[in-house]
Amino acid sequence: MTEQRRARQRSRSKPAAGEPAAPRTRPQRPREGSLDGLLATKEIVISCGPGGVGKTTTAAAAAAMAACHHGGKVLVLTIDPARRLADALGLKDLGNTERRIPDEAFGHLQPRGELWAAMLDTQQSWDALVRRHAPDARTRDAILANPLYRNISGRFIQSHDYIAMERLYDLHSAGDYDLIVVDTPPTRNALDFLDAPHRMAEFFSSRLLRWLTVSYRSRMMSMASRPFLQVADRILGTQFLADIAEFFILFQSMYDGFVARADAVTRLLSDRRTTFMVVSTLEAAPVREAEYFAGALAERNLSLGALVLNKVLPAYFRDREAAQVAGRMQAGAHGLAGGLRWTDSSAVEGVQDTAARVLVEVADSFLNFGVVARREAEQQAELAASPEVLATVPFFDADIVDMEGLLRLGSMMWS
């Protein structure tokens, strides 16, 4: 083993138990960094941001690039059941268990490492969690069979956030991968998943929970003296209330395991080996959300490693000279069309008329997109976030349908 590799391994070794994560000093402006460098140094990259900006694709592209150029085992963990992504990765489908992307999917490229992918299945992951934390087989089976459990684990929105972070912790601590890229759930509040572990622990430790379950046990005697239960009973019905109470009495037995795990997940998120990649477009609403998100990361002293701006219009739309040309083209379309020498002499007049119409449309379109492009540039200039890496990805004229497309996208944000 070379000295260099040993040093690298040392720096990657886990901090001793109880050792607090070192405070990070945040750069004031984008550093001369690249996604290449960022992915080479981190073990976990969490891709987040508003919905509909290409977050899943960006995460997959980053992971594919890392597998190609850095080597090692790279995993992309997604929550989006997008068929196209599975197709693009050369897999029939994505499931809860990680699967390796066949090298053939990379085409003529020989990836240095291995690319793996998994899609988070909330229900399956919850079941696995219950199996791990349940104190005995009887409790485990009772929880898995409880109708409320199935409802909550499958539909309770925050449970997706929690389980994504839980799964990440699990995969990371198993040590099977050099780099894990996580695509986060498109939550209403993009921050929910950051607080999810803590909130879940708080939920199970709440005095209210204890109060409810204790009062349920003795409620036959004290029903009349408990106005809440009386009201709840009238609203929800006795059986439903009993189901709730049974569920929480069972879940309390897993309390210690849950809290310990939630703390560990929180520590992992703030570890220096973990970084966040905020993905956005330059449209007004996504930019607002992305900024809010970047601010919240800073507040929590979490590292904003990269800001990826997707679908950015080409810079030539903002070119002043080109806009003047478009203006002249629009005003003098007929003269221009007449000035061109048309070889197709049989219908010169018709062609000239058509050409004039086309030139007007072309110029108008250019000026329209020019407005959008300038608005985008303004949004970008106003971005207060200061990531280590800022990458802009130009507008793609085609959908990404295969690994070639993913890598093409990836190379645009790479260095």
Partner 1 sequence: MDGPPLLDLRLVFVTGKGGVGKTTTAAALAQLAARQGKRVLACEVDAKGDLASLFEAAPTDFSGREVVPGVHVMSMDTEASLREYLKLNLRVPVAGRLGPVAKAFGFVATAAPGVREILTVGKLCYEVRERNYDLVVVDAAASGHIVSQLAAPQAINDLVKVGLIRTQTDWMLDILSDPRRTGLVVVTTPEEMPVNETLELADRVASETTVRLSAIVANRVLPELFGRHEEAVFDQLCQRVDELSKLVGGDAEPVMDGARLAVTMRRTRAGHLQRLREGVGTAVPILYLPYLFTRAHGMRTTRQVATSLGEELGL
Of residues 165-184, those binding partner 1 (CB under 8 A) = none
Of residues 73-102, those binding partner 1 (CB under 8 A) = 82-84
**How many residues are present in the chain?**
415
Is there binding between residue 188 and partner 1 (CB under 8 A)?
yes
Is there binding between residue 148 and partner 1 (CB under 8 A)?
yes
Is there binding between residue 371 and partner 1 (CB under 8 A)?
yes
Is there binding between residue 249 and partner 1 (CB under 8 A)?
no
Distance between CA 38 and CA 415 in Å, rounded? 10
Q: Which of 18, 92, 339, 346 binds partner 1 (CB under 8 A)?
A: 339
Q: Which of 264, 312, 362, 377 binds partner 1 (CB under 8 A)?
A: 362
- Quickly count helices (H) and strands (E) in the chain: 19, 8
**Closest to 27 measured CA to CA, from 298, 276, 277:** 298
Is there binding between residue 319 and partner 1 (CB under 8 A)?
yes
Is there binding between residue 365 and partner 1 (CB under 8 A)?
yes
Is there binding between residue 348 and partner 1 (CB under 8 A)?
no
If the CB atoms of residues 274 and 379 are measured against partner 1, the closer one turns out to be 379
Of 19-27, 61-69, 111-119, 333-341, the segment contacting partner 1 by CB under 8 A is 333-341
Distance between CA 289 and CA 157 in Å, rounded? 19
Locate 86 and state its tokens. 């599975």
* The residue to which tokens 């395991």 are assigned: 257
Strand 304-312 to 114-119 pairing: unpaired
Is there binding between residue 228 and partner 1 (CB under 8 A)?
yes
Q: Which of 340, 347, 378, 415 binds partner 1 (CB under 8 A)?
A: 340
Is there binding between residue 295 and partner 1 (CB under 8 A)?
no
Is there binding between residue 72 and partner 1 (CB under 8 A)?
no
Is there binding between residue 157 and partner 1 (CB under 8 A)?
yes
Q: Least CB distance from residue 291 to partner 1, whole Å?
A: 15
Of 65-73, 167-175, 271-279, 363-371, the segment contacting partner 1 by CB under 8 A is 363-371
Is there binding between residue 186 and partner 1 (CB under 8 A)?
yes
Strand partners, 275: 45
Is there binding between residue 332 and partner 1 (CB under 8 A)?
yes
Locate 204 and state its tokens. 């199970």
Q: Residue 229: how many CA atoms within 13 Å on its side-chain side?
A: 23
Of 18-26, 102-110, 134-142, 323-331, the segment contacting partner 1 by CB under 8 A is 323-331
Of 29-37, 241-249, 252-260, 293-301, the segment contacting partner 1 by CB under 8 A is 241-249
Count of chain residues binding partner 1 (CB under 8 A): 78
**Closest to 143 measured CA to CA, from 130, 156, 152:** 130
Of 38-46, 61-69, 293-301, 324-332, the segment contacting partner 1 by CB under 8 A is 324-332
**Closest to 197 measured CA to CA, from 151, 264, 297, 133:** 264
* The residue to which tokens 């929180």 are assigned: 266
- Which are the contacts of 42, defined by CB distance < 8 A and separation ≥ 6? 179, 273, 274, 275, 305
Q: Which of 363, 385, 390, 403 binds partner 1 (CB under 8 A)?
A: 363
Q: Least CB distance from residue 219 to partner 1, whole Å?
A: 14
Q: Least CB distance from residue 295 to partner 1, whole Å?
A: 16
Q: Least CB distance from residue 54 to partner 1, whole Å?
A: 8
Distance between CA 201 and CA 261 in Å, rounded? 9
At 231, the amino acid letter reads: V
Is there binding between residue 248 and partner 1 (CB under 8 A)?
yes
CA 57, 58, 61 angle in degrees (round to 5)? 85
Per-residue interface string for the shown chain with partner 1, residues 10-49, x marking contact by CB under 8 A: ----------------------------------------
Could you give phi then psi for residue 179, rounded to 5 degrees?
-145, 135
Of 7-15, 107-115, 293-301, 364-372, the segment contacting partner 1 by CB under 8 A is 364-372
Distance between CA 196 and CA 165 in Å, rounded? 8
From residue 83, alpha-carbon distances to 92, 100, 261, 398, 401 in Å are: 9, 17, 32, 17, 10
Is there binding between residue 314 and partner 1 (CB under 8 A)?
yes
CA 65, 71, 77 angle in degrees (round to 5)? 60
Distance between CA 65 and CA 391 in Å, rounded? 14
Q: Least CB distance from residue 396 to partner 1, whole Å?
A: 9
CB-based burial label for 123 (10 Å; 0-12, 13-18, 19+): middle
Locate 28 and state its tokens. 């004031």
If the CB atoms of residues 114 and 192 are measured against partner 1, the closer one turns out to be 192
Q: Least CB distance from residue 130 to partner 1, whole Å?
A: 16
